[in-house]
Copies of this chain bind each other. A is one copy, B any other.
Amino acid sequence: MSGTRVLVVDDEPQILRALRINLAARGYQVLTAVDGASALRAAADGKPDVVVLDLGLPDLDGTEVIAGLRGWSGVPIIVLSARTDSVDKVEALDAGADDYVTKPFGMDELLARLRAAVRRAAVSVGEGEEAVIQTDSFTVDLVAKKVRKDGEEVHLTPTEWGVLEVLVRNRGRLVAQKQLLRDVWGPAYATESHYLRVYLAQLRRKLEREPARPRHLLTEPGMGYRFEM
């Protein structure tokens, strides 16, 4: 791989300039954009390996830009946000950002996160081999897309599988409702949290020993769901 391509999106010229200089000095190829619309265009044209995105853009809301990118690309997105609007930060992560850095930031910190994001993206491509996850009441084969309970194969509908797969791939971690909805149903359904209740209930009925007292498909009220082995 020659230079990693970074798209920097910010409307403040001095920040843009500082980033361009620092990134170029470290061998990155730098693309820039000053608003959301041109950012989306630049991302489509330039095929960046990672995007650094300021949330306070003049034309589009930060989450809209993220959604626009996530519509067709899995490129890692690092969000820059002012220290005061961390509500936006949460929304940005929910919308599909990978990491965030609070403004003002040290250049070293941004570079570290940048490296981490790129590394993560590179790894996740190669790691897709055999993946069978076992619990004491059922097993999930992510490659074969099969679920077994007590040896018997359990039939899941496409949506049920989608929900289970997202949770299992994030095993141990809390998955926010919005993220789950976005991953399974798409960005437009981010508020239909009722779907989750229905499908989690179905999955529990099919997989848990005591559906009323789940041990693996857990609810974190107000936040999301979590798969524990």
Residues on A lying within 8 angstroms of B by beta carbon are: 14-15, 18, 69-75, 83-87, 96, 99, 103-106, 108-109, 112-113, 115-117, 121, 124-129, 143-146, 155, 157-158, 161, 166, 172-174, 179, 182-183, 186-187, 220-223
Establish whether residues B158 and A223, one from each chain, have CB atoms under 8 Å apart when the complex forms: yes
Establish whether residues A144 and B74, one from each chain, have CB atoms under 8 Å apart when the complex forms: no
Q: Which residues of B contact A70 (CB under 8 A)?
A: 103-104
Which single residue of chain B is at the shortest CB-CB distance from A106?
A: B74
Establish whether residues B83 and A179, one from each chain, have CB atoms under 8 Å apart when the complex forms: yes
Establish whether residues B174 and A144, one from each chain, have CB atoms under 8 Å apart when the complex forms: yes
Q: Which residues of B contact A73 (CB under 8 A)?
A: 104, 106
Q: Which residues of B contact A103 (CB under 8 A)?
A: 70
> Smallest Cβ distance from A130 to chain B, in angstroms?
10
Q: Which residues of B contact A74 (CB under 8 A)?
A: 104-106, 109
A225 CA to B5 CA, complexed, in Å: 41
Establish whether residues B84 and A106, one from each chain, have CB atoms under 8 Å apart when the complex forms: no
Which single residue of chain B is at the shortest CB-CB distance from A120?
A: B129
> Smallest Cβ distance from A74 to chain B, in angstroms?
4
Establish whether residues B173 and A145, one from each chain, have CB atoms under 8 Å apart when the complex forms: yes
> Smallest Cβ distance from A59 to chain B, in angstroms?
22
Establish whether residues B125 and A173, one from each chain, have CB atoms under 8 Å apart when the complex forms: no
With A125-B109, A144-B174, A186-B87 as known contacts, state yes or no: A72 contacts B223, CB within 8 Å.
no
Q: Which residues of B contact A104 (CB under 8 A)?
A: 69-74, 96
Which single residue of chain B is at the shortest CB-CB distance from A71?
A: B104
> Smallest Cβ distance from A179 to chain B, in angstroms?
7
A173 CA to B183 CA, complexed, in Å: 22
Establish whether residues A113 and B128, one from each chain, have CB atoms under 8 Å apart when the complex forms: yes
Q: Which residues of B contact A116 (CB under 8 A)?
A: 128-129
Establish whether residues B182 and A72, one from each chain, have CB atoms under 8 Å apart when the complex forms: no
A222 CA to B85 CA, complexed, in Å: 23
